[in-house]
Structure 1
Amino acid sequence: MGTGVTIASAAAGFGRDLEFDLARVRTLIEQARKAGADLLVLPDAALGGYLADLRNPDTDTLPPALEPDHELIGRVARAAAGMVVCVGYCELGDDGRRYNSAVCVSGDGVLGRHRKVHLPRGEEKAYAPGEGFSAFDTPAGRIGMLIDYDKTFPESARSLALDGAEVVACLSAWPTNISNRAPRMSDDRQSRLFDLYDRSRAAENQVVLASANQTGSLGGMRFLGQAKVVGPGGDILARTWAKAGLAVATLDVGAEIAAARRVLDHLSERRPHTYR
């Protein structure tokens, strides 16, 4: 990566109305462009919204399923123009199954894709799991994507880091605790875990992490927001807290990673033969 890459992570609400969602995506792209962003990470399910009930999804009210080459993705790419934009959607696979997916685009087209690998209990009723993690090159540097629950598992981000990702984009529709909701967001268990995973995945892999999340409510789900950009030492460089908005940070990604790995290089000092 070159000097001074500007990364923006979005906290925003989305629902079933695709044209409304596209208009909001365009608005966020323009806000990010005004902030000088080279990379914008949008939430999971920004095109079509997330599940209204995670524990028992109603198959009649699932998000609209879009083919990988759906014209809506092309419209996001055209709006992105010279910016790199990661956005989540419900994908209709060639096998006829639904996937919780993310696509990374610019005005040149699709740069990378990811299907959510780890499905929390209940989500398997609506989606099939993806089968792997891979990084890809973009004008904003080498990026890997995670969706929601993927970041709970250290192996997910580690796989991307080992594939050369310098920035890990985490797209989420992460809700408050469903079974035991706290009266204040700051006391919510899922709120604490969301931040903990963001910082841990960045620090343990010594990469930059851009975390986007939905805000507002859908059905019985109340989303956390808390978009942020985290440095390779686990330090939060910018954040939105619970409100909608953009977390924006400018940094020399390559130099920051090199500095973090100068004394202790976690990836090269691994001993895989000892791990069961």
Structure 2
Amino acid sequence: MIRIGAVAAHFGRDLEFGLQRVATLIDHARRSGVALLVLPDAALGGYLADLRHPDPESLPPALPVDDPHVRKVAALAAEMVVCFGFCEADGDQRYNSALCVTGDGVLGLHRKVHQPVGESIAYSPGERFAAFDTPVGRLGMLIDYDKTFPESSRALALDGAEVIASLSAWPTSITNRAPRMAQDRQSRLFDLYDQARAAENQVVLASSNQTGALGGMRFLGQAKVVGPGGDILARTWSKAGIAVAQIDVRAEIAIARRVLNHLTERKPEAYG
């Protein structure tokens, strides 16, 4: 049995303030016995303030993987497995990236593949989905829009991922904002995708998200842990907090796949 925590919290441009918030969240999670903590996308430096027309002069700070701020998160993680998002600098390229770390260093890196309109002004796209081994099992990561596409999670599941960490800075609808967040189209889709991606692959999914606002963006929160049957085990709703669920990941996956095993019963030859 392990405890998985998915975070809903606000992060802006101030890197030092972001690190302090990360430290506080890790401390709270540690006191709750969490072994895997999934922080939101853009936890270091914040997300874009305008998704349709990003201002090149006010983009998130770009950090190399060996930046001191990144190393500080790994040091804070210590024995815990922690996933978090940041703007990665690699030469002249900028990526919307997620890192999975412990105190021993980097376990995995994912660069967001699928980009909504406008994001290509700020970031280069990633090119692949790959799972990796961690002290809490085999893990894969998604960022934001990646989870809209079933192939993203399926590629991770086929690569052996038992847990998918889905890190988001997911806003309310930009084109048709509802008066109440619960009625917002993107709010409904966010929950739908989380449950569907877990159920169709029969894996555990930990979904984090930003809260609050940045520029014209208003973020949903709605962090949650979803079981391999698509059932929500813990959630934060729209408020900031940590959704914590205790689960025997391999046992629950085995139960879900005991009769109907979606991965082994695929018919790839019929999908062309």
TM-score by length of 1: 0.98
For 2:66 and 2:267, how far apart are their aligned partners in 1?
Answer: 41
AA paired with 1:107? Answer: G
For 1:132 and 1:223, how far apart are their aligned partners in 2?
Answer: 26
Out of 14, 25, 28, the position equivalent to 2:25 is 28
* 1:43 Cα deviation from its structure 2 partner: 0.2
For 1:64 and 1:11, how far apart are their aligned partners in 2?
Answer: 21
* 1:71 Cα deviation from its structure 2 partner: 1.1
For 1:69 and 1:274, how far apart are their aligned partners in 2?
Answer: 44
**Correspondence 1:62 to 2:59:** yes
Aligned 1:1-276 pairs, distance under 5 A:
4-94=1-91, 96-276=92-272
Q: How many residue pairs get matched?
A: 272
For 1:106 and 1:68, how far apart are their aligned partners in 2?
Answer: 14
What RMSD over aligned residues (CA atoms) do the two structures have, in Å?
A: 0.4
Gapped runs of 5+ residues in structure 2?
none
For 2:253 and 2:64, how far apart are their aligned partners in 1?
Answer: 36
For 1:140 and 1:87, how far apart are their aligned partners in 2?
Answer: 16
AA paired with 2:51? Answer: L
Aligned-residue identity in percent: 73
* 1:167 Cα deviation from its structure 2 partner: 0.2
For 2:122 and 2:38, how far apart are their aligned partners in 1?
Answer: 24
AA paired with 1:104? Answer: C
Structure 1 segments (4+ residues) deviating >4 Å: none
* 1:113 Cα deviation from its structure 2 partner: 0.3
* 1:69 Cα deviation from its structure 2 partner: 1.1
AA paired with 2:75? Answer: R
* 1:123 Cα deviation from its structure 2 partner: 0.4
1:246 aligns to what SS in structure 2? strand
1:76 aligns to what SS in structure 2? helix
1:164 aligns to what SS in structure 2? coil
AA paired with 2:162? Answer: E
* 1:137 Cα deviation from its structure 2 partner: 0.5
2:72 aligns to what SS in structure 1? helix
For 2:191 and 2:22, how far apart are their aligned partners in 1?
Answer: 24
TM-score by length of 2: 1.00
Gapped runs of 5+ residues in structure 1?
none
For 2:253 and 2:236, how far apart are their aligned partners in 1?
Answer: 24
For 1:201 and 1:30, how far apart are their aligned partners in 2?
Answer: 29
Deviations 1:25-67 (A, max 9, x none): 0100001101100000000000000000000000000000001
